[in-house]
A and B are shown apart, each in its own frame.
Chain A
Amino acid sequence: KNEVEQSPQNLTAQEGEFITINCSYSVGISALHWLQQHPGGGIVSLFMLSSGKKKHGRLIATINIQEKHSSLHITASHPRDSAVYICAHPRLDKVGEYGNKLVFGAGTILRVKS
């Protein structure tokens, strides 16, 4: 079982719709990352959060540490939001500390139609 589960795997939306992508993880974490990978292949870090909520433009990321769950929301979606969205968290190392090694979800493929 993957330590990071994302849902849905695929999502098609109409332009303007509000979109939610979910991420659940099975272990305690220090922070959660949301990444975006465009069809061209480049990967961009969207958010890194350890509590509460962060907002950047039309993107909002929330995290509930107790429930081990995070969501990425896109308001007023646009075709240029079409991408793969990946959540990830640092893995505990051998001495029980959170290092740089990330555990990745499988990604959510989002397609926004005009």
Chain B
Amino acid sequence: DAGVIQSPRHEVTEMGQEVTLRCKPISGHNSLFWYRQTMMRGLELLIYFNNNVPIDDSGMPEDRFSAKMPNASFSTLKIQPSEPRDSAVYFCASTLGTGYEQYFGPGTRLTVT
């Protein structure tokens, strides 16, 4: 299995631009998570899906952030418009379900100038 796949691996964009991060979970996994990691705040859960349905988006910073999971094998995290404070590493993870280990993707390093 290829593991969790994320793209792009690096993204540099200017403030105000739209950014879309992509994730392909491990086949057969029912839950998908989007995390953000910064030096100041560590790992933070932004949103997670069970069976393609958003369950908890309380970690989404503000309306500029949105996430979708149109099917079991694909999810996106969109930031529009982006701001310099959004610069971070964004991880996607998936798991078989509650009580199972989470498998993390390699992350997308986002820099907003």
Chain A contact residues, CB within 8 Å of chain B: 30-31, 33, 35, 41-45, 48, 86, 88, 90, 93, 98-102, 104, 106-107
Contact = CB atoms under 8 A, between A and B. Distances in A.
A33 B102 contact: yes
A42 B98 contact: no
Residue in A33, A101, A107 with the greatest tally of chain B CB atoms within 10 Å: A101
9 contacts: A33-B101, A42-B106, A44-B104, A90-B98, A99-B56, A100-B48, A100-B50, A100-B95, A102-B45
Interface of B: 31, 33, 42-43, 45, 48, 50, 55-56, 89, 91, 93, 95, 97-104, 106-107, 109
A43 B97 CA distance: 19
Contact of B42 (A41, A99, A106): A106
Contact of A100 (B33, B42, B89, B91): B33
A21 B97 CA distance: 28
A48 B76 CA distance: 27
A106 B39 CA distance: 10
B48 A101 contact: yes
A48 B101 CA distance: 7
Contacts of B100: 48
A107 to B, nearest CB: 7
Given A31-B99, A86-B43, A106-B42, A101 B56 contact: yes
A32 to B, nearest CB: 12
A30 B99 CA distance: 8
B102 A41 contact: no
Given A100-B31, A101-B56, A102-B45, A41 B109 contact: yes
Given A41-B106, A41-B107, A41-B109, A98 B43 contact: no
Contacts of A42: 104, 106-107
A27 B89 CA distance: 29
A93 to B, nearest CB: 8
A39 B47 CA distance: 25
B98 A98 contact: yes
Contacts of A33: 101-102
